[in-house]
Structure formats: structure tokens, C-alpha cells
Structure 1
Amino acid sequence: MKRGLVIGKFMPLHKGHIALIAFAAQHCDELIVSMSYTDADPIDGHLRFSWIREQFGSAPKIKPHIIKDDFDDETLPLEDRTRIWAQKMKAVYPLIHVLISSESYGPPFARHMNAQHICFDALRQQVPVAATAIRNRPLTHWDFIPAHIQPFFLKKICFYGPESTGKTTLAIKMARHYHTAYVPEAARDLLTSNAFSETDIIAIGRLQHQYIQEQSQTANRLLFCDTDAITTAIYSQLYLNHVPAVIYELEKQTRFDLYLLLDIDTPWVADPLRDQGHRRKEMLQLFEQALQQRQLSYQKISGSYHQRETLIKSIIDQLLQSW
């Protein structure tokens, strides 16, 4: 049996890595894909390894392995570093016959492994991307990220604030404008009035979280959310004088990259679930204080509906240049 080896941090796995591994698999009977990690990695090692296993789960020739990187010494010259790597690989894996890489470490590493080296696309002409570039600007390099990994890098934008400020309309419009998905307000799918219980508020929180998870799987770069768990907590406190602990736990599970706090300088439009029209200023203060208490950054959006739409597009377009 001819056994091959590909190593990497795969932080994250991207289409360049996938092309490398597919190429490597053509040159051996069994391919070990060794993913190294440390506890200080910016992306959790076990999450990254799950991405690799999901990508190659149907390829019996490819054998993903995870190894803690507690043996490398970046202060050493490449020749000495690769000698240490080879010692570790020989101790952990069966006999390796061929090493496949796109990096300068390939030839010395293969020599220390007593293996043949095969180089793949060293100039990155086939798939011109690097993992560092993806981590720094994932939306710019979106098309190089496998579909099952894209939800991790999705930028979530929350339309946030009191009743009747245009959150739903703006979420839908922005999703259409940026060709992506939006998350509706779960409360409107569960309630017909504001006479609700703690059981209801927990159901709302869980359904809102479920909606976010579901829409994240198909969203394109951006996900626009009509409300969040903080909003659920505010209304729970307002109507029940209590916030169930599960709502705070759900809040921790979703991080928003941008909060848009909608001001109350729009006409009040009543409906069966809106009954705080007489307290709009007070409600706005509650919403803003909740962000400030959590030290979350936000943009306050005022003006007519058209002015809001124009301003929000301007803010997002500017952020897309750095995302």
C-alpha cells in the first residue's frame, strides 16, 4: 500500500486545501490528512476537524487525523523544524511513502520522513487564496469557503428597537438588496396578543434561535435578523417582571456583528401585538441601555423610512469593504 500524508492547520479548510487533498489522493492508496491545533488557535481545533470530516466523510481513501501541536518550535530554522515534525509523524502514523504539499517546507520535511515529495500548485494559481486572508476578510473571499463552513463566517446584522420603527420592512428589503436571507420575528408566529406566559416567552426565545440557525445555512455573506434574544428579555421583563435564565443562555449563543438601533421618529402604526405607543421614548431608552450594559456597539438609525434605508445601505457597504 502506498500511503500519503498532507499536513496543515486548515484554519479554515478552504477550496485550495480541498484541491490539494483531492490531488494528493490520486497519488496514493491511502491518504492521511493530519490537522494540527493549539489551544490558542483563533478557530477551535475540534470544530475545524469536524469540517474536514464532513467534507471527506464519503471518501474512504482519505483518513483525517487530529494532532495537538505541542512539538513545534518556530524559532528554529526550517531544516530543524521539519526534522522535529518528521520525528512526531513517524511516532504517530504508519509508514508514509509520499508527502504532498504546496509549501516550502515540503522538500526538507519529506526528506526527514524518508518519503517522496510531490508539490501541488506552489504559486496558488489554481485556487488563489490563503486561510489567513479568509480569516481576515471572509466575505471578500466567500466563494473560496466550502458551503458547510460559510455559516461560521456569516456576518449577522440585527434590526433592533421599539415597536413600529420599521424593523421587519427593513430586514426584508436589505435581504433582497444583498441577495441573502432574513430571520423573521418569532413572537409574531406564536402570539396573537400580549397576554403570554413564561412558557410562551421561552418558546419565543427558542424559536427565534432556531430561525437564526436555519437561515444561517443558506444565507449569502450577510444575515439580517428582525429582533434578537435581548429584545425577548426586555419584553419578558416588561410583561412578566422576570426573564427566564434560558433567554440569557440563548443570547450567548448568537453574536451579532452589527446592531442597528431604530429611532422612534416614525409614525406609530398599531396592531394587535403593539401596545406601547404611549411609552415610545421610555422603550427606546430601555433598548439602548440594554446594549450599553452589554458593551455592544451599535448604530442609531433615524429619519424617514427612505432615509433609514439609504443610511443602512451606506453603513453596510462601507463595512463590506473590511469584511
Structure 2
Amino acid sequence: MTAHGLVIGKFYPLHAGHLGLVRFAASESAALTVIVLGTVFESGSHERRADWLRAELAAAGAELGHVEVLAVRCDAPEEYGTEIAWVANVAIMRAALAAAGRPAPTAVFSSEPYGVELAARFGAEHRAYDVAREGHPISGTAIRADLAGRWSEVAPAARLDLATRVIVTGAESTGTTTLTTALVDHYRANGFAAMPVVPEYGRDFTYELHAETEERLGREVAMDDLVWLPEHFARIAERQNELEDAAAMACPLVIADTDAFATELWERRYLGATSDETHRFGTDRLPPRDVYLVTDHVGVPFFQDGWRDGEHIRADMNGWFVDELTRRDASWVLLRGAPEERLRYAVRLIDALWARNATFASPPWRSSPPSVE
């Protein structure tokens, strides 16, 4: 057991091998500091990556309660064979430890050859972990090159944050489910075979509430007989978030048929206002998303399947979606036209979003791993 262990890395992105290293170092250290290094030349901030690691530590509980995570900006070029580069990089690490009130390390833990030299620079011992990558045959380089194919190896907290999320929403009978189904079919056939369906849980809940009401009253009931309560909408919003996050864990591209934000508007429609709890699920607890695809009512025949309020509210609801998304500064695109044209236009946007989100930039001197990737 060493007094103070040190792990450094870019965690770009955080994966199972990183977590294995941190667990090993924590088990061998009375205190452990993990420095998350990031440069302006990379995609995504070092603070964001540090948050992924903190989330994983929090999920582990007391077992990793003695681990401190520091997010550190490091733009010093990497040159393993020059003294100037070693001095520049180590100086940043020393300053970060001092600023956080952390002592110099007594041991440096790593899976990379650089670890021996880094430990010597700190006057500490070096402890290697899974250098042959037998425990975790994985690297940040491999994940960055094939994010969709290596998605299951990315740490859960990073998956939830990195997933590209597209929300299809709109008023009743405007083609939201039709478009969602077409998009899922398209992307399953084009590199995302594991993409789950994220259904509209509110509809399933309505079926359940209707059945419960009929059983309680002992007779057939119409939609107007259902009594809606704020807790119903809060439950719908909570479950919608759960379904969306489950999809993000399985696939880096999520296409969801509605979300908790839309549930807020439906609660306003039925009860006249949105409750605080439902609002929290639609704001503070809402997962990150890239774009809303709002299906327009214009030119779409209304289909009454027995569960809908009626055609008269579609225009008003459409306005609510547009106004509220604009107020919240959300990215949204209104889709009007035939189903095949909506699909074509949506795919063009989603492909661009995915290309942006799945691209990891590197500094020009990046030739070999400067730290645990």
C-alpha cells in the first residue's frame, strides 16, 4: 500500500481499461489522485471527461471514495525524447497537484511505457497494470476510430453523455411514430444494427390507466372518463428518460419517439399547467440531446384511433412545441411534407450530427499515446 498514488490520462473517451487501472491503483493506495489531461486541440473538454470519471466513482460508492479527480489543461507538446517536453508536461502536473492541496505521489500507476520515466520525475515508484492489455484488450485509439463498433467498451457515464440523441415530437397524428420507425429502420440497416426502439411511453400508460379505470368502475369508459393527475405525467416523464438512457447505453445514435419535454406540454394540455416534478424531468433531469424533429400538422390527415383528443388541438399544440423549444434555445427543425421527404431531410441532418459527434480531433504532434488513452 502506497501513501499517495497518481494516475494520469486523457480518458479520450473513458473506457473499461481506464476504470480497471483506477480500481487497481485505488486498491494499492491510501489516497489516489487521477489527473485528466486535455488540450485545446482535442474534441470535448477535459472537464467533461473528468465529470465522466467522477460519475463512475460516485456509482462505485465508498470503495473508491478516496480517489480525487483533477481536470487539467495541458497544451505542452508531447516529445518523449526531449528534456524540454518532459519538464513542461511534468511542471503542469506538479502545479495541478499543488493547487489542489495534494502531495507529491509516492507511486505512479500506468499501463504505458511512459510510466517509468514519469515516476522517476516525481521520485516515486512505478507500478504497472495490464501492460499486455490482457485484462482489457482496448484502447482509446481503437474506440475513436470506430465509436459505433466499440460502443460497449466505453464507460457508461461517457456513453450517456456522448450518444447522439434525436427526438421526434409533435402534435397528435402528425406522423411522429411513422418518421421514428422509418429512421430506426434506416439506421439499423446502415451501421447501427443494435439501435433500440424508444417508444412513446405515454401511450402505454394511457392504455394502463384506461384498463385500471374500467376495472375500478366495472364498466366501459371513454377517454373523457379518465382522471389525469400530476403524478401520472411525472411518472411518464421519468420513464421516458429511462427508456432513452437505456437506448444510449446500447447504441451511440438514439432516435426517440417523444421525450420528457413533450410530456410537460401534454400535462399543460390536460391539467392546465405543468407540475414541478414533471418539469424537473423535462429540464434538470433531461438527458443531453442534439436536435428535435418537430412533425408539422399541415398536410397530414388526422387519424382518430380512439385514443386521441381530436384534430382541433393540433395547430395549438404545434405552436406550443415551437414556442417552448425556441424559448429553451433548443435545436429544432420543423418537418413538413410527404413521409419520404421528411425521412430524406432528417437523415441528411442526422448524418451530419453523427459525423461531428463521432469525430475526435487530436493535436498535430499526436503519434503515440502520451498517457493512458
TM-score normalised by structure 2 residue count: 0.64
- 1:261 maps to 2:291: no
| Structure-1 residue corresponding to 2:140 | 129
Structure 2: how far apart are the matches of 1:236 and 1:127?
A: 46
CA separation of 1:108/1:84 partners in 2, compared to 1, >3 Å: closer, same or farther? farther
| Structure-1 residue corresponding to 2:34 | 35
Work out which of the residue numbers 190, 199, 206 in structure 1 matches 2:205: 190
Structure 2: how far apart are the matches of 1:2 and 1:202?
A: 51
Work out which of the residue numbers 157, 165, 173 in structure 2 matches 1:156: 165
| Structure-1 residue corresponding to 2:8 | 8
| Identical columns (%) | 21
CA separation of 1:110/1:65 partners in 2, compared to 1, >3 Å: closer, same or farther? farther
Aligned length: 308
Structure 2: how far apart are the matches of 1:305 and 1:150?
A: 31
| 8 Å CA contact retained: 1:86, 1:112 | no
- 1:100 maps to 2:110: yes
1:163 partner amino acid: E
* CA-to-aligned-CA distance 1:90-149 (integer Å, 9 cap, x gap): 9658843x643537575144332242476958xxxx745369969xx9668735513564
Structure 1: how far apart are the matches of 2:307 and 2:160?
A: 32
Structure 1: gaps of 5 or more residues:
none
Structure 2: how far apart are the matches of 1:223 and 1:44?
A: 21
* CA-to-aligned-CA distance 1:273-313 (integer Å, 9 cap, x gap): 22231343333222211212222121111222222223322
Structure 2: how far apart are the matches of 1:222 and 1:240?
A: 34
| Structure-2 residue corresponding to 1:233 | 264
Structure 2: how far apart are the matches of 1:86 and 1:235?
A: 50
CA separation of 1:12/1:63 partners in 2, compared to 1, >3 Å: closer, same or farther? farther
Structure 2: how far apart are the matches of 1:183 and 1:139?
A: 18
How far has the Cα of 1:43 moved from its partner?
2.3
Q: Any idea what SS the aligned residue of 1:273 has? A: coil
How far has the Cα of 1:185 moved from its partner?
1.8
1:113 partner amino acid: G
| 8 Å CA contact retained: 2:167, 2:293 | yes
| 8 Å CA contact retained: 1:37, 1:69 | yes
| 8 Å CA contact retained: 1:82, 1:105 | no
1:8 partner amino acid: I
2:170 partner amino acid: G
Structure 2: gaps of 5 or more residues:
38-44, 77-86, 211-222, 358-373
Between 1 and 2, higher relative CO (CA 8 Å, sep ≥ 6) is seen in 2
| Structure-1 residue corresponding to 2:334 | 300
- 1:146 maps to 2:155: yes
* CA-to-aligned-CA distance 1:248-275 (integer Å, 9 cap, x gap): 1111111321100101122211122222
| Structure-2 residue corresponding to 1:203 | 232
How far has the Cα of 1:166 moved from its partner?
1.5
